[in-house]
Amino acid sequence: MRKIEDRTFLALIVIVSLAFAWVLLPFFGAILWALIAAILFEPLNRRLLAKFPGRPNFTALLTLLVILAMVILPAITLGIFLLQEATAIYTHIESGQIDVSGYFRQVQALLPDWAISMLRRLGLGNISAIREKAADGIADSFQVLAAQTVVIGQRTFGFLVGLGVMLYLTFFLLRDGDAIVEKLRGSMPLHPAQRNALMTKFVTVIRATVKGSIIVAIVQGAVGGVVFWSLGIQAAVLWGVLMGFLSLLPAVGTGLVWVPVAIYLFVTGAVWQGVVLVFCGIFVIGLIDNILRPILVGRDARMPDYIVLISTLGGIELFGLNGIVIGPVIAALFMAVWEIVAAGRRSGWTSA
């Protein structure tokens, strides 16, 4: 009879937990980013608490204001500029001020014979058809992006609610973080050594993923946008954001943006602009990751590039933009769990 009661209670725990997760699902993104913000800014909150002992509400509120000033407001401002720039470019394409097909014809006319022969060997000999498809694709992309501005406008209320939930939850995670962690430690059905190692890995992975990916992406995108702007390339903000987003993909990353633009500059006669862009792409934008990531993350927390690439793409496919963080975190936790298992077998605490 005792076994039946235990199994019934275990089933009840599973059902209630799944139901609670279902209730929270509409605010999954807000909860995720609140957790990330609390983990990233917990050291700052702890330092403020040391300066203002016994005032956890004040220090949590002060940390929240720092998050607003450093992260939320700049992100909203950048998003507004990005949407305005994308909409303006689409309007110029529709009105004919930007002739995408003409640009492709200009590039085609400047291609040397060996380049055309190589394209034919690769099955890309019909440049006119490629040009028209590419032009249509670019126009369609901007049309979709411009249409999203309407959708975003219609969902402004939902965005504000999610932002409010995120900030509200971040405040309590900052204020009551230690107590929440202790409750989790006492509730997790794991050996103490396993529990402590897993929770430590989780915090390390969150910080490593965000600091090593998101911050580096912001810096690369900002530098790339400044380079494009200084060279007089249109839509510098849009290209900078695109480079920042693509920099989350190792190996290829920002080169998917600046390499085609550099080629276009060379074939259209803007040689010195192309040389400057190549130099900045290789020795400035390209080296930011190698310089900043070890400083922000530390070499021990890095994952292999192929794991980061696959997990990021898979995360985006499953979770949208939230997958930028979720994918690498899941991959890192997977590796961490098996490292804990291996370490436990060596030390003997898995069988304790």
**Per-residue confidence of the chain (352 residues) as pLDDT tens digits?**
567 777 888 888 889 989 988 998 888 888 988 988 898 899 899 999 999 988 999 999 999 999 999 888 888 887 787 777 777 776 766 666 665 566 666 665 666 666 667 666 665 555 555 555 555 555 555 555 555 555 555 566 777 888 889 999 999 999 988 888 888 777 777 777 777 777 777 777 777 777 777 788 888 888 988 998 888 887 788 888 888 888 877 666 788 888 888 887 887 778 888 889 889 888 888 788 777 766 666 555 567 767 777 887 888 888 887 887 788 788 878 887 887 777 767 766 544 4
pLDDT at 219: 87
252's tokens: 């290829």
**Helices 100-110 & 255-267 angle (0-180, nearest 10):** 60
| Spatial contact of 212 and 218, defined as CB atoms under 8 Å apart | no
Give CA–CA dist 67/69, Å, rounded.
Answer: 6
Indicate whether this model's pTM tops 0.85: no
Short-list 173, 158, 187, 179, CA closest to 32: 173
Burial class (CB in 10 A: 0-12, 13-18, 19+), 241: buried
Query: 282-321 burial by CB neighbour count: b if 16+ within 10 A, else e?
Result: eeebbebbeebbeebbeeebebeeebbbebbebbbeebee
